[in-house]
Chain A
Amino acid sequence: MQRSATRNARLFLLMVGAAMALLLAAGAIAFLTDSPRWSVDEVALLRSLALDALEPLPPDPSNRVADHPGAAALGERLFFDARFSANGAVSCASCHMPERYFTDGRPFGVGVGVIPLNTMTLVGAAYSPWFTWDGKADSQWAQALLPLENAVEHGGDRTFYAHLIAEHYAAEYEALFGPLPDLSRFPRRAGPVDDPDAAAAWGAMTPEEQDAINRIFANMGKALAAYQRTLLPKPARFDRYVASLGDDGRPSRPGVLSEDEIAGLRIFIGKGQCINCHNGPRFTNDAFHNTGVPAAPGYPVHRGRIDGVAIVQSDLFNCLGPYSDAAPEACTALRFIVTEGDTLPGAMKTPTLRNVAETGPYMHTGQFATLAEVIEHYNAGGGFALIGHNELHQPLNLTPTEAKQLEAFLHTLTEEP
């Protein structure tokens, strides 16, 4: 009886010891090789963010030449041609620099003057139903016309550009859009612009003459848009990581993302709530949100979407206008536009996060120089909205380590060479 009890106690200790050793070994293996695996739902969510989930570029029915290679070729030449500016020194590429993912690295764009808005990337922009920070254009071609006639961007006007097309691109233009009218009777500078002389000259033209010029101007925009539709996102390290994930929620190859980057990704889709707006393979919902971003010091507060709505609805070059190639039913952005409500004032379009680490400074006037500052803004629950209301409700309570991990993750969205 006594012997048996002793033997049992010894066996008991042996078994506990073996169990503990196995536990330790298992813990060590997990620590060395793995962050926690992703759940089935999380794997589905991660796959929805990967470039593999990006659908083919939807057609732009308002632009007959949207997918015409000749139009894209003409558009590309126009995009880089600085003759298309008041001072002969500014092209689209002055702010949309290809080597910077079509941004400029500055808080404000610099054209003929200073544009008090941060330059948005063009990569993948063609997917959006709305263009610019406040969505003041409903197509990429209508958007392209806005900076051309803005006094501080390209600083020209539409007869100025029509003359330049006739002088430098007549053959390319006519191959796409048919014969150019005789432009010799038109003033060199005329358009509905800030410049009083150009505006007066425009007012003196007949509606038929204005229409002839408007058509050339719109076609320029359509060629520029055809080029910009070719600027599509390319795979990043993040995409390789998602592709390596099995249905069991583990990567088939280790090391594509570091443990910190994976932890940051987990925060991105979880505690950080980033995915609420930065969703889908372009990491944007293409919607307008007010997150209480401070105004640029010394500049007025941008009114955001409330202004964008008014501008796009009255834009001669919108999808429902006379220069659009779309049937009215196809103008879905305008047909179902939200025109009222307290979410419009101060709301700006969610920017894509693809290549975000390389496209600072951030926010609509480049208020934040670094991603760390952006994360700090959201970690505090956004700021006090100077116009409208901040949609965010509460601080995220990310620890300094978590904020750093989130930042590390954002660096994995840069396309690989």
Chain B
Amino acid sequence: MHRLYPLLILAVLILVGCFSSPASSTTSASAPANLDFSTTRLSEAGRYRVSFTSELNPIAINRLHTWTLHVETPDGAPVENAVIQVHGDMPEHRHGMPTAPKVTQYLGDGNYRVEGMRFQMGGWWEVVFEIEANGEKDRVVFNLLLR
């Protein structure tokens, strides 16, 4: 009888597979693999270490909300008086955000209030901050995967 054990196990496995019917997948954003979704990133030329926090967590679509951006040098000194532009795009779609967000206030300690954030669909977003401080320009890109 012991020779029949593998067969029994196979039959059971097939049945189990059958009863847990497949949950078909939704076509969500087919973002490239290995995207960095971290909320702290070094700017492209390495001038600033930048992080964001959102007052909405998780970030929901179709809701106007505010972010706080923290900008510091790679060795941790807060960056004051930066001029910051922000925009967002869906790389897989031919459109950006439904709003034009703005940095509206410097909060001290390298923190900036970013008002007017809104995303109108789920999927992969890139949020780009162009930062200029003390004559030095750099940009940082955050990836988001929204539902």
A-side interface residues toward B, CB under 8 Å? 8, 11-12, 15-16, 18-19, 22-23, 26-27, 30, 34, 36-39, 41-42, 44-45, 48, 129, 249, 266, 269-271, 273, 275-277, 279-280, 285-289, 332, 335-339, 341, 343, 389, 391, 393
Contact = CB atoms under 8 A, between A and B. Distances in A.
A36 B23 contact: yes
| Interface of chain B, main secondary structure | loop
B26 A280 contact: no
B123 A276 contact: yes
Shortest beta-carbon contacts, A-B, top 3: A336-B116, A19-B11, A39-B23
B94 A336 contact: no
Contact of A279 (B1, B22, B99, B121): B121
A329 to B, nearest CB: 9
A213 B97 CA distance: 38
A279 B115 contact: no
Contact of A339 (B10, B62, B100): B100
B7 interface: yes
A393 B25 contact: no
18 contacts: A8-B3, A12-B7, A16-B7, A22-B11, A30-B21, A36-B21, A36-B24, A37-B23, A39-B23, A249-B23, A269-B26, A285-B120, A286-B98, A288-B98, A289-B95, A336-B118, A343-B96, A393-B94
Interface stretch (B12-20, B33-41, B74-82, B125-133): B12-20
Given A23-B15, A280-B61, A338-B97, A12 B4 contact: yes
A343 to B, nearest CB: 5
A8 B24 contact: no
Contacts of A391: 93-95
Contacts of B22: 36
Nearest to B121: A276
Given A336-B101, A338-B100, A279 B61 contact: yes
Nearest to A22: B15
